[in-house]
Amino acid sequence: MLYYLSIGILVLLLLSIPVAVTLLILALGLDLFFSNFPLTRALGQTFWSSANSFLLLAIPLFVLMGQLIVKSGIAHRAYEALDNWLSWLPGGLLHSNVLTSTLFSATSGSSVATAATISTVALPQQRALKYDPRLFVGTIAAGGTLGIIIPPSVNLIVYGFLTETSIPRLFMAGLIPGLLMAGLFVVASALICWYKPELGGPKRTATWGQRFFSLLHLLPLLFLFVVIIGSIYAGLATPSESAAVGVIGALVLAACYRKLTWSNLLSALDGTIKTTTMILFIIMAASFLNFAMSASGLSQQLVGLINAYDLTDFQLLLFILLLFIILGFFIETLSLMVIMIPIVTPILFAVGFDPVWFGILMIIFVELALITPPVGLNLYIVQAARKGEPFNDVLVGVIPYIIVMLLMAALLIAYPQIALWLPDRL
């Protein structure tokens, strides 16, 4: 049964069938060929129960907030501010790409939105200043992945929803690893450009007056981050309610910048509706697939297969992480999470792995799936903004940052307190 399911996933994805439809077709196939009773009778109930959660209300709200930030030009101003401070370092704008992605991640909750926004802002500068295109677009694609580990994160909300893990703890657990990984991206870029200065573009300087004045453009993103996370930890709001507070903050900022027009608002709502319906359709389809896998005995087969090898706890963890890497080549990230979490987390939690720690570790491997072909979404998001330039540039450019992500995963395995220290203190 596992063989047929694996082949089915690959064939349907190669046919370019949407991921949610692929999951639904596989579930119906399990019902038709392997189930002893008609599972489709539970289709409506499964769809309803998987989507009928107050917690999921945070998803469209965080997406809308990110859309409003883009429309108001806040990300563009933050990019210019960081450029004033970092352009003298080896790598110059490469560091602005990473750190602007970090700041935007602290408000958008989405890697795709982060990569799309920074691509729009940064690529004209790359062409004007003649940066090496490979490393430049690599920093954008890799920096965009920070959107799902630095809070607030839509993917962490989905993980918390599926595993019944505290979302405030997950948010705090993702903060230090996310910032540390951003720092490692900067160090990697600086070392590469120190070794090969021609990759880093021209060094430029700004006056101290320009630098300090430009810090004002970072305040809106910091304001939203403090409002969202602060409202949760002050006990004033749940994660879903804090998302609504963030939307109000984004509307106020857009109005202050005189960008709160009907056209911008309608465009932001349109983008939010499209993204949210895609996410919820995937969650509903994957929930029915998980139900079908359990009812047909496939989940038990997989658990039995893992137990048959008599792995140690550490070997079991590495095996599951390897599965995430392999499946990440072929399955879209949110679908990968929704498919794998109900199967592997009960096994890992049963042998004593911390749910919060594993959530952050898993997110790093989900981030890898965003920048590894053939399905890596961030690769295509960045390439779409490059208007016909070689796709090979993006594929080569992300290689150093894939190595950095694997290094970050190794550090998190060796030192779990990197993720657990902050939520334990708060």
DSSP 332: -
Q: What is the pLDDT of residue 60?
A: 84
CA nearest to 106, candidates 84, 75, 76, 129: 75
Residue 32 maps to a domain: no
Give me the mean pLDDT over the 271-290 stretch: 78
Top-confidence residue, 63 or 318: 318
Residue 8 maps to a domain: no
310 SS3 class: coil
Top-confidence residue, 20 or 129: 129
**Highest-pLDDT range among 225-234, 283-292, 316-325:** 316-325
Alpha helices in 56-166 (DSSP H): 58-71, 74-86, 93-108, 111-129, 133-144, 154-163
Q: Is the peptide bond before 197 cis (omega within 30 degrees of 0)?
A: no
Per residue in 196-217, pLDDT (tens digit) is: 887 777 777 777 788 888 888 8
Q: Is the pLDDT of residue 19 over 60?
A: yes
Residue 261 maps to a domain: yes
Q: Report angle CA 50, 56, 62 to the nearest 5 degrees.
A: 150
User: What is the pLDDT confidence band of residue 183, given thresholds at 50, 70 and 90?
Assistant: very high
Per residue in 344-375, pLDDT (tens digit) is: 888 899 888 999 999 999 999 998 988 887 66
Q: Is the pLDDT of residue 336 over 90?
A: no
| Domain total of the chain | 1
Top-confidence residue, 371 or 385: 371
394: Cβ contacts below 8 Å, ≥ 6 apart: 134, 137, 138, 141, 379, 382, 383, 386
DSSP 426: -
Per residue in 230-272, pLDDT (tens digit) is: 887 777 887 778 888 888 988 998 888 888 888 888 988 888 8
Residue 361 maps to a domain: yes
User: What is the pLDDT confidence band of residue 52, given thresholds at 50, 70 and 90?
Assistant: confident
Residue 35 maps to a domain: no
Is the CB of residue 408 less than 8 Å from the CB of residue 356?
A: no
Residue 73 maps to a domain: yes
Q: Is the pLDDT of residue 400 over 70?
A: yes
Report the alpha-carbon distance of residue 98 to residue 424 in Å, rounded. 28
User: What is the pLDDT confidence band of residue 117, given thresholds at 50, 70 and 90?
Assistant: confident
User: What is the pLDDT confidence band of residue 154, given thresholds at 50, 70 and 90?
Assistant: confident
DSSP 217: G
Is the CB of residue 50 less than 8 Å from the CB of residue 283?
A: yes
CA nearest to 301, candidates 290, 310, 293, 292: 293
Residue 101 maps to a domain: yes
Q: At what angle do helices 58-71 and 219-233 cross, to 10 degrees?
A: 160
Residue 129 region by backbone torsions, left for phi larger than 0, else alpha for psi between -120 and 50, else beta: alpha
Range of the domain at 151: 18-26+40-425
Q: What is the pLDDT of residue 178?
A: 92
Q: What is the pLDDT of residue 8?
A: 67
Residue 3 maps to a domain: no
DSSP 41: G
Q: Model-level pTM? A: 0.81
Q: Is the pLDDT of residue 2 over 60?
A: no
Q: Is the pLDDT of residue 384 over 60?
A: yes
Q: Is the pLDDT of residue 1 over 60?
A: no
Averaged pLDDT of the chain: 82
Report the alpha-carbon distance of residue 326 to residue 127 in Å, rounded. 35
